[in-house]
A and B are shown apart, each in its own frame.
Chain A
Amino acid sequence: MKHFLTILSHEVRMLLVSPNTYIAAVLFLSLMGFIFTGILEQYSKAVQDVSPASVFFELYWLPVFFMVPLMTAKCLAEERRLGTIETLLTTPVTTT
């Protein structure tokens, strides 16, 4: 895991300059917003035992399940497509 921080900061910076990140963020947040309004509507109709926040975070994994591969797969695919993985793997980085 040598140079993990170097590569991490590089990837985060690359994500921040890419418009795709912001599109993905808007989609993610609006989806979460819809889920949360749904929960609040249920709560306004009848009294429930658990708090709305815990229901919300129980459902949280579902969008994340799709979001994380969406963003990370692009990083890998891009490295392969451009061939930069070859230059990356010939520097003293280790994968284990």
Chain B
Amino acid sequence: MSSPPLQPAIEVTQLVKTFAGVTAVNGISFTVPRGEILGFLGPNGAGKSTTMRILTGYLPATSGQVSICGHPVASEPDAVKRRIGYMPENNPLPEDMRVSEYLYFRGRLKEVARSKLGSRIDEVLELCDLKRVRHKIIGKLSKGFRQRVGIAESVLAEPPVIIMDEPTIGLDPHQILIVRDLIASLRGRMTVLISSHILPEIEMTCDRVLIINQGRIVAQGTPADLRREVLGQSAYEVEAAGSLGSLAFLLGTIDPGLSVASEGPADSQGFRTITLKTLNAEDVGEAILRACLSEGMRVRALSRAHPTLEDVFLAATRRSWDAVAENPKSPHP
């Protein structure tokens, strides 16, 4: 590539997009360094697809700046289009073409040299495990195969930036696994921007996650950072039998913020689930266990609850909705 390697792959500054008075994207700014896999999360209508379309140059932005590998999308659309591989939502494919024909056509459109195209098509067919269906008609393929044809097509010209809008939608768990491995295999070589509703998916493949809601970024960072930042607490679950006694006091000596959040009903053997919460990020599991035992409680299990990305997502989007409700700024002019 002609651009210097230090420039970030994707740079978005104060991006705004309005459709007939409705603000779809409202002042989004983010940067993606080269070789990173960025997950784009958000509820329906949050502006994910709109942002991706603007990144590819398919939609013009209302205001703000977007550049791919240092090339602004608005003034150099051609340079940008040579550097991206884009797979839109629902993965549109022509129904009456064969897989290899389609890849050949797309390769020519993406300016892959005719002499290299044949071997490159073989490579991506191998990569996406499509060799068996290379002569089949796309309209007759199953959803999983079609999705993989879409992915093969987006990596065909070896672009430095790949943008995929919900690549795993409608796939079965086995196929999701294949697609996930495929995306993970691109790590380091290409910058990948994917959006998804399937949160474990994003958590496993992405280096960084960006949560947007109502056109604004509500949280960003690595999945671990997000957990700390958005939830800001860790929880422990203790399954124990016996009276609580002065446990609350003892817990206070371990960590002033530690408290009993809830207490479940006792089962037939007298054990119940006690949930403890703390704002401290350090692991105080051992201290809790000691405190319980010194109180004469019988402990069956102790675990630190790991908030999933799902909790983070719900907390982050709820937080942004609360902010909108408190400060009612109508999106309509």
Contact = CB atoms under 8 A, between A and B. Distances in A.
- Answer whether A and B are interacting partners: yes
Contact of B90 (A17, A18, A83): A83
B141 to A, nearest CB: 14
A93 B82 CA distance: 10
Interface residues of B, number: 25
Nearest to A91: B109
A90 B78 CA distance: 9
A6 B108 contact: yes
A72 to B, nearest CB: 16
Contact of B95 (A82, A92, A93): A82
Interface in B80-121: 81-82, 84, 86-88, 90, 92-97, 105-106, 108-111
A54 interface: no
A14 B87 CA distance: 22
B58 interface: yes
Contact of A82 (B86, B92, B110, B153): B92
Contacts, number: 53
A44 interface: no
A82 B56 contact: no
Nearest to B94: A84
Contact of A90 (B56, B94, B96): B56
B35 interface: no
A82 B93 contact: yes
Nearest to B108: A6
A93 B94 contact: no
Given A3-B109, A6-B109, A90-B58, A82 B78 contact: no
B124 to A, nearest CB: 15
B144 interface: no
A81 to B, nearest CB: 9
Given A10-B105, A92-B110, A92-B111, A87 B88 contact: yes
Interface size bracket, A side: 10 to 19
A17 B97 CA distance: 9
A94 B80 CA distance: 13
B92 A14 contact: no
Contacts of A86: 53, 58, 86, 88, 92
A82 B56 CA distance: 19
B57 interface: yes
A85 to B, nearest CB: 8
Given A6-B105, A83-B88, A90 B57 contact: yes
B95 A90 contact: no
A94 B111 CA distance: 13
9 contacts: A3-B108, A14-B94, A84-B93, A86-B88, A89-B58, A90-B86, A91-B106, A92-B109, A94-B78
Given A90-B56, A92-B111, 7 more contacts: A3-B109, A83-B90, A86-B86, A86-B88, A86-B92, A87-B92, A90-B81
